[in-house]
Structure 1
Amino acid sequence: MASVVEYQGPRRGYRCGYCGCPEGKACSGMWAHSMTVQDYQDLIDRGWRRSGKYVYKPVMNQTCCPQYTIRCRPLHFQPSKSHKKVLKKMFKFLSKGEFSKGNNEEEPMDSQMDNAVMDDFVLKSKLDIHSDHRPLGEGYNEVIENEVEKKEEKLEDKKTKELNQSHAQKEKLGSGEPSSSVKVVASAPKPGKGADLSKPPCRKAKDIRKERKRQKLILKSQTDKLEGFQVQHEPQLLPSEKPKLNQRKNIEDFIFDILPEDAAHRLEFTRFLCTSPLEMENPPNGPDYGYGSFHQQYWLDGKIIAVGVIDVLPYCVSSVYLYYDPDYSFLSLGVYSALREIAFTRQLHEKTSQLSYYYMGFYIHSCPKMRYKGQYRPSDLLCPETYVWVPIEQCLPALESSKYCRFNQDAKAVDEERIKELDRLRVLYKRTIMPYNVYKKRQKGPSDEAIVQQYADLVGQTCSERMLLFRS
């Protein structure tokens, strides 16, 4: 089975759904009558993306809001604080039925697709949401104090607060005024009344934490100096024997946490094939469900509340859309479904080792509400000129200066899939498959070599030789 595509060329000067510019968007597109999963994998690794059967690629150096393909590396993924908050909120809702509908923002429309097909795909993107994630300037591996220290700080804060309240209460009572009104008296209190000036003033919790941290650094420095001596005289534990204190939870620990038997709600998942140009494939060494496009249905107490559309490809799970019941937007279903799909990718990797990435569509740095995708880390952005993956941390400084950037720092690097022999491109013409050089001889009317060359440059040498370009 070969992919059959009909290239429709570039389209410029129409409204952008990200910045609102009436004539700023530019992209090339083609209609996929059918497509193999390997061809689509290779295409998205060159910046293409599908919307139904329409496959499109932004003209990166011309469009008003350049859209960079982004992928997450699930095998090294650790949920951020905001991700954990969403997962804990879902678990609390399922186990106890508790939730808060306040301060929940509606997920914005994914306007990445070509306007010509927008009316047919009025869908919510599972990832395009307003988010409370950290600013992009912060690194993924933020400095997080361990749980023991957090508990100590909370206790210290509580004690400090109680002590300050105690002093304030004494001042209230000593002044003879009601507790609802407090005056600040400049003169020293009479003996037996007010704060005891013979004792040091109360310290702020912030100052206490700083002092504790300084003491820990001093202690660590002293320990490091003695480390060599200790290694010589103390037996070392094997890696498997080392105690796992304050070990960070991974995403499965949150998502697959066991609900109590009397849980208030039950959330279930089912998976079905869905209509797509991708041809279903089920090789012996592939995933249990095979490769192709799937609906992941989210059932709450027997009622369907969301449907995620994903493409399972040879090297990745690609997120497409999420439909959801707006009555359940308080559960942050966009973020929750993305985290579940990351966990799903990790599960698929256990059987199919080459499947190890999660593609999130496009990252648009020029659109602030779209930057949150960069918080699913570690992640990479695709260089729009050489089509190599670059860690997002290395890309952000350049994107702060310019909307369009080449991420590959090697000035001599080129697109390895650039067209070398156009004549080897395959064409489907009058129900006959032929190489382009044969098609040219049979072609009637004006030459279409310029548009065919453009198509070949965009899809690359390998795909041009494997896919069939339909010509009428």
Structure 2
Amino acid sequence: MAAALGTSPTIVEYFEGEDFYRCGYCKNETGSRSNGMWAHSMTVQDYQALIDRGWRRSGKYVYKPVMNQTCCPQYTIRCRPLHFQPSKSHKKVLKKMFKFLSKGEFSRGNNEEEPMDSQMDDAAVDDFVLKSKLDIQSDHRPLSEDYNEVVESEVKEKEENLETKETKELNQSHAKREKLGSGEPSRSVKVVPSAPKPGKGADLSKPPCRKAKDIRKERKRQKLILKSQTDKLEGSQIQHEPQSLPSEKPKLNQPKSVEDFIFDTLPEDAAHQLEVRLVPVAFEDPEFKSSFHQSLSLYAKYQMAIHKDTAAECGEAEAENPPEGPDCGYGSFHQQYWLDGKIIAVGVIDVLPYCVSSVYLYYDPDYSFLSLGVYSALREIAFTRQLHEKTFQLSYYYMGFYIHSCPKMRYKGQYRPSDLLCPETYVWVPIEQCLSALESSKYCRFNQDTKAVDEERIKELDQLRVLYKRTVMPYNIYKKRQKGPSDEAIVQQYADLVGQTCSERMLLFRS
């Protein structure tokens, strides 16, 4: 929950590859391994470059899994919000929220869509984006297929209604005969429908029932005929009227966007009011300061209920380490979800030069029936699209890590279109191209170009920047002043992991 992004120069302490520790996903006691850095300060530009090389942050601790050694490789995943369309499962969550806000209706039953909590490792908080338990199915079918499903369901419904109607009429007939025969009010009598009379078949006055498959074939045939006629007509018009502009074809019904659901107008007598406030993580900000204690109480309630933390582990020091406030609109923010004047959830996000990065979500467990993990992710996607309208290059939504070897963590891959980061060449590859390889092996190189290499790999350490005895210097000068055993191997490991640009821009603290 703590923030570590600001505008001061980036100063980091690097920790050599840590020992293996307990994995929060497969529970292997010695299966997980990562490299880490403590960020005394960090700019948004440097953090953007680091997450594009597979790093993530938990407060001021920045870490990178050792992908080819850890038991559950964690691949950086990003969604492309500009092309995102909510799936059926996403729509279900959005409709559920609207129904709750407008009418106050909800179900506390077995809710498959409740957010899934990230597993908390001892050495590093392995995953920050709390989303959903639901194995969300992607919804990328053409409108015609959706229409086919409607037709099939209507045919089935009509058949069921017809059977129900006939059974009801039979029951009424039996009850009527019972009543007339006894001369007394009818009692509760179990009526077994009799078999239909011989020779009684379908109602010839109505068109025969057709299979949905035949309906689809007929509809496709009609479309082809219509298209052929339209093409001929347009060709004729072009031939005889070369100066006339072609008429615009009517637009097909566009699917509803995530904004259409989120910002749907509530009735005047709505049961609840939900407000989402964006608050910079800085104590000098009045709004952040005024809501801090309520936010902290919610954080403690969430951590104790979901992650079984003790009250001492949920103290103020654990909750916040605020940086300097961003001057240009980038940095760390809280998206506070206020329901009827009370905070029920807080999404911690980083607004970076090219993306919105989801860091963490904590919420009131009493409202888990609203699937706040899924809902907050959709709100953050909509927020990214909103920022893109004003800042063109900001066009991605980073969701943390995708862990294919852990089935419960695959849901992030259903916020599509999305890409996974190749752990060797650091290029983005559409997730559809990665899944077959991940089925065969936990660790994969996604870049199919066998000659491709890490373009940011560092060749010379001389220009790497070091902060030594409160003085900034290039590494070749630091080596001459260094006393004691050489640390070149550790510095080389750091440089390989952060890349050329960051190594020459960030300050590596050496004592």
TM-score by length of 1: 0.87
Distance 1:380 1:148, change over 3 A: closer
Residue 233 of structure 1 corresponds to which residue in structure 2? 236
Counterpart for residue 74 of structure 2: 67
Residue of structure 2 equivalent to 1:16 = 23
- Counterpart for residue 158 of structure 2: 159
Amino acid corresponding to residue 160 of structure 1 in structure 2:
E
**Number of the residue aligned with 1:407:** 446
Mapping 1:295-334, distance limit 5 Å: 295-334=334-373
Partner of 1:51: 58
Verify: 1:7 aligned to 2:14, yes or no: yes
Runs (4+) of structure 1 exceeding 6 A deviation are: 170-179, 202-205, 235-239
Aligned pairs for 1:341-360 within 5 A: 341-360=380-399
- Aligned AA (2:424): E
Indicate whether 1:251 and 2:258 are aligned: yes
User: In the alignment, is residue 444 of structure 1 matched against residue 483 of structure 2?
Assistant: yes
| 1:93–1:264 contact (8 Å) kept in structure 2 | yes
SS at match of 2:136: coil
Q: Which amino acid aligns with 1:218?
A: R
Instruction: Flag the 1:204–1:366 CA change in 2: closer, same or farther, 3 A.
Output: farther
Shift, 1:166, TM fit: 3.9
Q: Residues 243, 218 of structure 1: CA spacing in aligned structure 2 closer, same or farther, 3 A cutoff?
A: closer
CA spacing shift, 1:421–1:333, aligned 2, 3 Å: same
SS in 2 for 1:318: strand
Q: Choose from 264, 271, 276 the match for 1:264.
A: 271
**What is the CA–CA distance in structure 1 between the aligned matches of 2:208 and 2:464, rounded to whole Å?**
73
Aligned partner (choices 200, 211, 219) of residue 216 of structure 1: 219
* Equivalent runs, 1:69-468 vs 2, <5 Å: 69-104=76-111, 107-111=115-119, 114-116=121-123, 125-134=128-137, 140-145=139-144, 152-168=151-167, 180=190, 182=192, 189=197, 196-197=200-201, 208-233=211-236, 242-274=249-281, 275=320, 280-283=325-328, 290-468=329-507
Distance 1:198 1:71, change over 3 A: closer
Provide the rounded CA distance (Å) in 2 between the counterparts of 1:162 and 1:323: 46
Q: Identify the match of residue 40 of structure 1 among 47, 62, 78.
A: 47
Distance 1:204 1:396 in 2: 46
CA distance in 2, matches of 1:159, 1:179: 28
Amino acid at match of 2:162: L
Instruction: Give a deviation string over 1:53-80, Cα, whole Å, max 9, x none.
Output: 0000000010000000000001111111
SS at match of 2:462: helix
Task: Count how many residue pairs are aligned between Structure 1 and Structure 2.
Answer: 448
The CA deviation at 1:317 is 0.2
Amino acid at match of 2:473: M
Provide the C-alpha distance between the structure 2 equivalents of 1:204 and 1:357, rounded to a whole number of angstroms.
52
Deviates more, 1:214-223 or 1:445-454: 214-223
Taking the aligned partners of 1:43 and 1:278, their CA distance within structure 2 comes to 18
Task: State the distance in 1 between where 2:136 and 2:475 align.
Answer: 50
Task: Spell out, residue by residue over 1:200-247, the C-alpha distance to the aligned partner (whole angstroms, 9 max, x if none).
Answer: 8x9998x622111011122223334444312223589878x5444422
Distance 1:361-1:458 versus aligned 2 partners, 3 A rule: same
Quick one: distance in 1 between partners of 2:149 and 2:474? 67
How big is each residue's C-alpha offset from its partner over 1:260-285, in whole Å with a ceiling of 9 and x where there is no partner? Answer: 111111111222222568664434xx
Query: RMSD of the alignment, in Å?
Result: 2.8
Determine the structure 2 residue equivalent to 1:286.
none
| Residues 250-309 of structure 1: per-residue CA shift (max 9 Å, x gap) | 1111111111111111111222222568664434xxxxxx00001111100001101110
Change (3 A) 1:22 1:181: farther
Residues 341 and 329 (structure 1), Cα distance of their counterparts in 2 relative to 1, 3 Å cut: same
Counterpart amino acid of residue 158 in structure 2:
K
Verify the 8 A CA contact 2:36 2:62 in the aligned structure 1. Answer: yes
TM-score scaled by structure 2?
A: 0.81
Shift of 1:40: 0.2
Q: Which residue in the other structure is 1:287 paired with?
A: none
CA 1:440–1:60 in 2, change beyond 3 Å: closer, same or farther? Answer: same
Aligned pair in 2 of structure 1 residues 117, 423: CA closer, same or farther (>3 Å)? same
In 1, the alpha carbon distance for the partners of 2:130 and 2:234 equals: 49
Report deviation, 1:184. Answer: 7.5
Q: Which residue of 1 aligns with 2:311?
A: none
Amino acid at match of 1:157: K
Asked if 2 retains the 8 angstrom alpha-carbon contact of 1:380 and 1:390, the reply is yes
Residue range with higher mean Cα deviation, 139-148 or 254-263: 139-148
Q: Which moved more, 1:273-282 or 1:78-87?
A: 273-282
What is the DSSP-based 3-state SS (H/G/I as helix, E as strand, rest coil) of the residue aligned with 1:28?
Answer: strand
What is the deviation of 1:159? 2.1
Shift of 1:447: 0.7
Relative to 1, partners in 2 of residues 1:278 and 1:353: Cα closer, same or farther, differing over 3 Å? farther
Q: Cα distance 1:276–1:387, how it changes in 2: closer, same or farther (>3 A)?
A: farther
Secondary structure at 1:22 match in 2: coil
CA contact (8 A) 1:97 1:264 kept: yes
Give secondary structure in 1 for the equivalent of 2:93. Answer: helix
Q: Is the 8 A contact 2:132 2:371 kept in 1?
A: no
Structure 2: which 5+ runs fail to align? 1-7, 179-187, 239-243, 282-319
Q: Is the 8 A contact 2:117 2:130 kept in 1?
A: no
Does the aligned pair in 1 maintain the 2:128–2:400 contact within 8 Å?
A: no
